[in-house]
Amino acid sequence: MTKSEVVLWKNLKGKQFLNLKFRRQFGIGNYIVDFYCPEIKLVIEVDGSTHYEEEVFEKDLKKDEYIQKLGINLFRINSEEIFNNLKEVLFRLENICNEIKSKTSPHPSLLRRG
């Protein structure tokens, strides 16, 4: 993992972020994603400076398309943002997770009652 991924992982591991289980360096098809939360089908990709090179950028586009075709949500974040404003990154990530959860939660009337 890169330094920025290590910083983010410290905030995601062990269900400490919104009680969600994240996996790191997770395989999806022929791709490895930085972080994946199966519960809400969310991939987090941390992009360093090499991701802006044309060849890497093109590979990222193909990877993103594949992931999204599987119905998986994708959140890309620049590694510098993690270093410069981790609090804001986590705030945005929390909003994304809550939005996904609200869209995938069953309607209260459909929940089984004990």
Span 7-49, pLDDT tens digits: 999 999 999 999 999 999 999 999 999 999 999 999 999 998 6
Q: What is the share, in percent, of the chain residues with pLDDT greater than 90?
A: 77
* pTM for the model: 0.85
Q: What is the dihedral of CA 19, 39, 42, 68, to 10 degrees?
A: -170
Q: What is the dihedral of CA 44, 48, 53, 56, to 10 degrees?
A: -40
pLDDT at position 75 over 80 = yes
Are 8 and 89 in contact by the 8 Å Cβ rule? The answer is yes
Residue 8 is predicted with a pLDDT of 97
Number of Cβ within 10 Å of residue 55's Cβ equals 8
> Which residues touch 39 (CB under 8 Å, ≥6 apart)?
20, 21
Residue 57 is predicted with a pLDDT of 82
Q: What domains can you pick out in the chain, each with its CATH number?
A: 14-86 (3.40.960.10)
